[in-house]
Structures are given as structure tokens and as C-alpha cells.
Amino acid sequence: MEQIAEAAGVSHTTFFRYFPTKEQVIVGGAHLEAQMRAIMATMPPGLGHFDLIRRFFTELDRVSADDPWIGNPLRRQLIRSEPLLQKTFQAESDRLISGMRQLVADHLARDADDFALGVFLDAVAGVAFRIAAEADENRSQPQLETTLRAIDLLERGLPLD
């Protein structure tokens, strides 16, 4: 950790303020959270919840493609292969989802504790995490396209036909 702080040109204390554990260095949720907040800040008012989520994932995909940290497949593979990193990633994901819930609630002028909003966001998050895991294992199907298809399916009420 000291070597990383030195290479980054910051003090050991400053480094640990941002990354309290070694696992946080790999998972790096604060960087993703900043990107997610920036994306939500650009959303035009008046979007319905499905259109808002579609635009959010479209922008997140663009940011991920342009950001070597967020979009790094080796980093994601490492997180999925190490149990301690998986646990840290899950905790960080839960924190990010909670923060997103507030951002989406604010955008839609709803209470963050709204039951329907929570179910909607949990369904979207579950689908998105599953598709992301599959995309890391099988690069033949574009992740954004599959995510948007899944959101469309949710919007139609999950028909099986």
C-alpha cells in the first residue's frame, strides 16, 4: 500500500483516507459512485422510471468504455475470483444501490422509501448484475444491448412469450 501511495504521489495517510483497505483499492466504489452521480445529474427532468434507467445504463456504458478503471475486465475478473474481494464488492454494491435509490427517487419526485420504487430498482439491479457477470464470461453478446432488452422485458411485465 505504501508503494502505491508513493507512486500516486500522495502520503500514506491520504491514501488510506480514500482506500481504508487493500480490497477497496481494487473495488474502488468511490470512483464509480462519482461517475454515477454525474450521469444522474445530466438526466433531463420528466423522464419516466424506465426511460431514466435506460438512459442511465446507456451513459454508464459509455463512461465504462472511456474509463480504463471502471471498464477493466481483468479487474472485474479478479473481483469475481477472490472471495474477500467478492464480499467487499457486494458491500460496496449495496452502498451504491442505496445511493442510487435516493438519486432516482429525487429525480422522479418520489420518496426513497417508496415500496414500488425499491422493488423496481432491486429488479433492475439484479438483472444488471447478472448480465454483467455473464458478459465478463461471454463477450459475444454486448452487455448494454442485453441490459436494455432486459429493461424492456421488465417494462412489458415480464412476459415469457
CATH number, domain with residue 107: 1.10.357.10
Domain membership flag for residue 109: yes
39 within domain boundaries? yes
Q: Determine the pLDDT at residue 105.
A: 96
pLDDT at 151: 96
Rounded Cα–Cα distance for residues 149 and 54 (Å): 10
Contact 36, 96 (CB under 8 A): yes
What angle separates helix 73-81 from helix 83-108, to the nearest 10 degrees? 120
Spell out, as residue ranges, where the chain has pLDDT lower than 70: 1-12, 14-22, 29, 136, 138-141
Q: How many structural domains is the chain composed of?
A: 1
Task: Say if 50 falls within a structural domain.
Answer: yes
Q: Is residue 8 part of a domain?
A: no
Domain-located, residue 16: no
Task: Give the pLDDT of residue 110.
Answer: 95
Model pLDDT, residue 55: 97
Question: 82 lies in which domain range?
Answer: 26-155
- Asked if residue 5 is part of any domain, the answer here is no
Cα distance between residue 137 and residue 119, in whole Å: 27
15 located within any domain: no
Closest of 120, 59, 132, 124 to residue 89, by C-alpha: 132
The answer to whether 27 touches 79, Cβ cutoff 8 Å, is yes
